[in-house]
């Protein structure tokens, strides 16, 4: 456990925001701890959880010096929490994982090798889990290939799950997430791709994404409103450009396999 940055063994800073995750955060940590690549730091910011999440994090911290935990003074949302972790990151790479998701043991190692010296933004396919961590037998982005541009992602040609993303930190001038309560990850990927970089996909499902009953991904109306807000208010797209992109998004949301 070197926890140092070297060209052949770069440090990966893993970014997590958490809120009331007492039932899942330990599984997330175990998935990180079991990675085949072990030169990482896990930076977790708790958003004033009202359950025992903070106690679980303290127990994890006591036994693993690669873990760093922070706490917001007020409940502020995932964007603020992730940004606090990003500010503290020392790694050459940033990887993101939500507090209810899990990684396969080879995830970081495979992604690092895939990125090599010339890819600055990558993501993986993922498989869906139920609230109890059992597989639902469905994968997302596993039929994708190649890379995706800003225009591609405006039209949501890939789902690009937050917990699958890894980026080379010094390749982007600003990695801070827009201060949105929801959809800040998608808005961030657009901001990064607006620089002209491309997001390259690994179509192998290396991440498990947990579907929770109260997740925004289960509320299609809220998700659609969020998408429109990002087009108009965050990206500043003209009405007809927003409408064009939204129709692509809606078609894929309905017919995506």
Asked whether residue 128 is assigned to any structural domain, the reply reads yes
Q: Which residues contact 247 (CB under 8 A, 6 or more apart)?
A: none
**CATH code, 34:** 3.90.550.10
Predicted confidence (pLDDT) at residue 23 exceeds the cutoff of 80? yes
Asked whether residue 249 is assigned to any structural domain, the reply reads no
pLDDT per residue over 106-132, tens digit each?
A: 999 999 999 999 999 999 999 999 988
Cα–Cα distance list, 113 to 104, 137, 166, 242, 248 (Å): 15, 27, 12, 36, 33
Asked whether residue 238 is assigned to any structural domain, the reply reads no
**Structural domain harbouring 32:** 12-214
What's residue 168's pLDDT? 97
Asked whether residue 3 is assigned to any structural domain, the reply reads no
Asked whether residue 233 is assigned to any structural domain, the reply reads no
Instruction: Count Cα atoms within 13 angstroms, Cβ side, for 78.
Output: 20
CB 92 within 8 A of CB 136: no
Asked whether residue 73 is assigned to any structural domain, the reply reads yes
What's residue 257's pLDDT? 47
pLDDT per residue over 183-221, tens digit each?
A: 899 999 999 999 999 999 999 999 999 987 765 455 678
Asked whether residue 221 is assigned to any structural domain, the reply reads no
pTM as predicted = 0.91
Q: How many folded domains does the chain comprise?
A: 1
What's residue 132's pLDDT? 86
122 phi/psi in degrees, rounded to 5: -140, 160
């Amino acid at each position: 456990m070197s926890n140092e940055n070297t060209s052949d063994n770069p440090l990966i800073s893993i970014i997590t925001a958490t809120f009331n995750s007492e039932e899942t955060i330990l599984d997330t940590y175990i998935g990180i701890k079991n990675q085949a690549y072990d030169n990482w730091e896990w930076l977790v910011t708790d958003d004033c959880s009202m359950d025992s999440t903070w106690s679980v994090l303290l127990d994890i911290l006591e036994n693993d010096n690669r873990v760093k935990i922070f706490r917001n003074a007020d409940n502020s949302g995932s964007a603020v929490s992730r940004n606090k972790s990003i500010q503290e990151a020392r790694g050459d790479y940033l990887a993101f994982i939500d507090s209810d998701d899990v990684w396969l043991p080879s995830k970081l190692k495979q992604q690092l090798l895939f990125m090599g010296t010339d890819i600055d933004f990558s993501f993986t396919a993922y498989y869906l889990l139920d609230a109890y961590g059992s597989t639902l037998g469905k994968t997302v982005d596993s039929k994708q290939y190649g890379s995706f541009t800003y225009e591609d992602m405006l039209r949501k040609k890939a789902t690009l799950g937050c917990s699958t993303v890894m980026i080379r930190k010094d390749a982007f001038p600003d990695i801070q997430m827009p201060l949105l309560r929801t959809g800040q990850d998608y808005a961030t990927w657009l901001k990064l791709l607006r620089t002209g970089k491309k997001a390259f996909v690994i179509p192998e499902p290396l991440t498990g994404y947990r579907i929770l009953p109260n997740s925004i991904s289960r509320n299609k109306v809220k998700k659609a409103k969020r998408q429109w807000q990002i087009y108009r208010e965050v990206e500043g797209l003209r009405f007809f450009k927003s409408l064009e992109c939204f129709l692509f998004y809606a078609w894929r949301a309905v017919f995506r396999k």
